[in-house]
Amino acid sequence: MIAERKSDTRSDTRQELLEAAAALISDAPGQDVPLRAICDRVGVKLPTLYHFFGSKDGLLAAVVEYGFASYLALKQATEPSGDPIEDIRHGWDTHVRFGLDNAGFYALMYGQVTPRRRPEAAADPHAALMRLCQEAEAQGRLAVPAAVAADHVLAANVGVTLFLITAEEPDLALAGQVRDATIAAITGLPGVPAGDAADGAALAQRLLHSLGGAEDTIGEAEVTLLRKWLGRLAAGASS
């Protein structure tokens, strides 16, 4: 029992240091947070911090992991709509809001980069985005491969979030415009001129894109069959 209590205490102290560091970094974007200030908030000495994290770099790496875990938990708290494109759209907005609300460690997560290396903790959010893109691809709603679509969405989402963080007054309308342009690009809808609406592939693509939530109106089996037919039409007419 004594050993368990010691283990719990060690775990609690490490978590308290991590949360204190995350809070101080988030409250002071772009500023160096003294290790002593982190220790003072928790009520421990510097050797305790070094014991758990080894160095300041070790602490910052742990804060990055903490940030990605918090971001992923926020995304997972939202129920999927059943429409992958709408979920990508909502995920974009969640990403931007998370960055603006947590500018300090968002800058650590995405702004401080090492060439040819991404934080391991970034893998789970990227995998969640990739699953949505794969689902959209299976429904015939992407103009590019799922992996390309995921990269485009992530690159644009991170770019606009960092831009807004550094702006004097964040313009959420700009974030929405970039979001809509990115989704339009990966779905291919802007590339279809209005005068070509009679083209089979163009019409099928537009109809596929508009089926989100149709299950509630005409039934899941019917929508599944309709997606199948439209997918064949889009593929056949464009080949």
Q: Give which of 211, 231, 206 is closest to 137, Cα–Cα.
A: 231
Q: Residue 193 pLDDT > 50, yes or no?
A: no
Question: Does residue 196 sit within a domain?
Answer: yes
Residues 88 and 148 in one domain: yes
What pLDDT is attached to residue 5? Answer: 36
Mark whether 170 and 134 lie in a shared domain: yes
Residue 35 lies in a domain: no
DSSP 172: H
- What pTM was estimated for this model as a whole? 0.67
Same domain? For 174 and 230 the reply is: no
Structural domain includes residue 13: no
Q: What is the CA radius of gyration of the chain?
A: 23
* Cβ atoms within 10 Å of 69's Cβ, excluding its own: 13
The answer to whether residue 48 sits within a structural domain is no
For the cut 90, the answer to whether the pLDDT of residue 204 exceeds it is no
Q: What is the share, in percent, of the chain residues with pLDDT greater than 90? A: 31
The answer to whether residue 32 is domain-embedded is no
Name the nearest CA neighbour of 104 among 27, 40, 47, 161: 27
| 239 and 134 both lie in a single domain | no
In a domain, 17, yes or no: no
Is residue 198 pLDDT above 50, yes or no?
no
* Mean pLDDT, all residues of the chain: 79
What amino acid occupies position 75?
A: K
202 shares its domain with 154: no
In this predicted model, what pLDDT tens digit does every residue of 11-57 receive, in sequence order?
Answer: 688 999 988 988 888 777 767 889 999 999 999 999 999 999 999 88
137, 168: one domain: yes
Q: Domain limits at 155? A: 62-191
Are both 69 and 187 inside the same structural domain?
A: yes
Confidence of residue 152 (pLDDT cuts 50, 70, 90): very high
The pLDDT tens digits for 163-182 are 998 888 888 889 999 999 99
Tally of domains within the chain: 2
The verdict on 87 and 109 lying in the same domain is yes
C-alpha–C-alpha distance, residues 236 and 230, integer Å? 10
CA 84 remoteness from chain centre: 14
Q: Are 107 and 165 in contact (CB under 8 A)?
A: yes
74-118 pLDDT, tens digit per residue, is 877 777 888 999 999 999 999 999 989 888 778 878 876 667 667
Indicate if 238 and 155 belong to the same structural domain: no
75 and 159, same domain (yes or no): yes
List the end-to-end C-alpha distance of the chain, in Å, as a whole number: 70
Separation of alpha carbons 109 and 119, rounded Å: 8
Place of tokens 């990508």: 88
Nearest to 36 by CA among 55, 49, 52, 22: 49
Is position 197 within any domain?
yes
Q: Do 74 and 145 reside in the same domain of the chain?
A: yes
85 and 167, same structural domain? Answer: yes
